[in-house]
């Protein structure tokens, strides 16, 4: 039994050392970020690089959807909220100290399973009829809009179940068509039909589209480079052009005079611009964040042309940098003001 006792004592000693170590150390300065699944991969990437640069910092990112991120920021359970749409009136009322900071550009793309067709040219009316459930099959779509689609059979519509900024932006763009009756918001009451499959996060929508041969869905730009899907070209009503969502076409949509961070980038009257473009935001509570200089420094780095806004970082994740746009100027001025206080 003597040998066993020795082993046990050594284990206990090691265990005690580890516990003391964990208890004494204060946690690495942690920046907590939560919210939109669209912004998630970009924030993860930034967090990764930032942690490599500043090894005493820790950046923890969780999902949950834009809505959840905004609420968590307002209730001070996280430092930064990620949102793929600007603050709603109700959110501004409830949390008066929240501020949106644009940090990147994105588009909402319509993707379909590669079986559906080689290419897909869609107008807003066609998209409205698909996503409101008015059109049940690809054949009906062909008839109604005089287009040709490679398959027949029912349309599987892949939508979001969780509170999502992507849903909010998409539905807002659809609301510009009088035939869209389902309203807009982070959650939509999709038609109760087994043709509509919901998922949580862009990831699941993409999985659903890839796995169903007759499926169509909406995802953020970063999720369009996957195999097994076809990305639709959308008609920009202001210019009459069919534009494919890409990082360049989205950047073009932001190349103009912008006065407010939450301005809409829809249907821009610029040649080559993608109609369903949007800004991505970090949401912060200005009162809460003022004491946390290290969080402000992180956001400063994110907005810097040589920091987070480097093309090889942002475009690699699938989004578009805001360098050289009015949005970047607005964002930097907000952050600098907070830093000075």
Nearest distance from C-beta of residue 130 to other proteins, angstroms: 16
**Cβ-based nearer residue to other proteins, 271 or 311:** 311
Least Cβ distance, residue 324 to other proteins (angstroms): 25
Distance of closest approach, residue 68 Cβ to other proteins, in angstroms: 5
Between 130 and 330, whose beta carbon lies closer to other proteins?
130
Q: Exposure of 227 by Cβ count < 10 A (0-12 exposed, 13-18 middle, 19+ buried)?
A: exposed
Find the shortest distance in angstroms from Cβ 211 to other proteins. Answer: 6
In the bound complex, what is the minimum distance in angstroms from residue 136's beta carbon to other proteins? 12
Q: Which residues, listed in sequence order, are joined to residue 62 by a DSSP beta bridge?
A: 34
Q: Which long-range contacts (CB under 8 A, 24 or more apart) does 194-198 make?
A: 195/133, 195/136, 195/154, 195/155, 195/156, 195/157, 196/133, 196/156, 196/157, 196/158, 196/159, 197/156, 197/157, 197/158, 197/159, 198/158, 198/159, 198/160, 198/161
For residues 187 and 210, give the distance between their C-alpha atoms in angstroms, rounded to a whole number: 23
- The conformation of residue 90, written as its DSSP 8-state character, comes to H
Quote the least distance from Cβ 244 to other proteins, whole Å.
Answer: 19
Instruction: Give the residue with the Cβ less far from other proteins, 256 or 310.
Output: 310
Q: Hey, how many other C-beta atoms are within 10 angstroms of the C-beta on 211?
A: 13
> CA-to-CA distance for 183 and 177, rounded, in angstroms?
11
The C-alpha torsion from 320 through 324 and 325 to 331, rounded to 10°, is: 90
Record the tokens describing residue 103, joined without a space.
């940090």
The distance of closest approach from Cβ of residue 247 to other proteins in the complex, given in angstroms and rounded to an integer, is 15
Of residues 132 and 214, the one with the C-beta less far from other proteins: 214
Question: CB-wise, 12 or 144, nearer to other proteins?
Answer: 12
Nearer to other proteins, 162 or 267 (CB): 162
Of 202 and 236, nearer to other proteins (C-beta) is 202
Give 163 or 172: the residue with its C-beta nearer to other proteins. Answer: 163
Sign of the C-alpha dihedral, residues 209, 214, 218, 223? positive
To other proteins, the closest distance from the beta carbon of 257 in angstroms equals: 33
Task: List CB contacts of 69: < 8 A, sequence separation 6 or more.
Answer: 33, 34, 35, 36, 78, 81, 82, 83, 283
Binding site for other proteins (CB under 8 A): 1, 4, 15, 18-19, 21-23, 25-28, 30, 32, 41, 44-45, 47-48, 51-52, 58, 60-65, 67-68, 71-72, 75, 77, 154, 156, 161-163, 185, 187, 189, 192, 194-204, 206-208, 210-212, 222-223, 226-227, 318
């Amino acid at each position: 039994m003597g040998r066993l006792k020795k082993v046990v004592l050594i284990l206990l000693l090691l265990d005690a050392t580890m516990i003391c170590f964990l208890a004494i150390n204060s946690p690495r300065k942690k920046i907590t970020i939560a919210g939109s699944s669209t912004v998630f991969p970009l924030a993860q990437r930034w967090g990764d690089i930032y942690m490599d640069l500043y090894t005493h910092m820790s950046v923890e990112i969780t999902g949950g959807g834009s809505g959840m991120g905004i609420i968590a920021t307002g209730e001070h359970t996280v430092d930064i909220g990620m949102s793929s749409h600007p603050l709603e009136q109700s959110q501004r009322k409830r949390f008066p100290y929240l501020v949106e900071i644009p940090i990147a550009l994105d588009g909402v793309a319509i993707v379909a399973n590669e079986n559906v067709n080689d290419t897909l040219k869609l107008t807003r009316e066609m998209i409205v009829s698909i996503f409101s459930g008015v059109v049940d099959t690809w054949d009906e779509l062909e008839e109604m809009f005089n287009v040709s689609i490679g398959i027949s059979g029912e349309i599987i519509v892949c939508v979001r179940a969780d509170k999502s900024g992507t849903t909010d932006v998409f539905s807002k763009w659809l609301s510009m068509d009088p035939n869209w009756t389902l309203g807009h918001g982070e959650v939509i009451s999709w038609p109760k039909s087994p043709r509509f499959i919901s998922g949580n996060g862009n990831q699941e929508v993409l999985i659903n589209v890839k796995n169903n041969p007759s499926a169509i869905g909406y995802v953020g730009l970063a999720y369009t480079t996957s195999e097994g899907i076809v990305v639709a070209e959308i008609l920009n009503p202001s210019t009459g052009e069919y534009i494919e969502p890409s990082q360049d076409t989205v950047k073009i949509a932001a190349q103009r005079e912008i006065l407010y961070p939450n301005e809409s980038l829809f249907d821009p009257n610029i040649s080559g611009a993608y109609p369903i473009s949007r800004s991505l935001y970090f949401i912060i509570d200005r009162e809460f964040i003022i004491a946390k200089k290290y969080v402000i420094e992180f956001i400063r780095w994110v907005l810097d042309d040589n920091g987070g806004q480097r093309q090889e970082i942002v475009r690699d994740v699938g989004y578009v940098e805001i360098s050289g746009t009015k949005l970047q100027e607005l964002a930097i001025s907000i952050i600098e003001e907070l830093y000075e206080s």
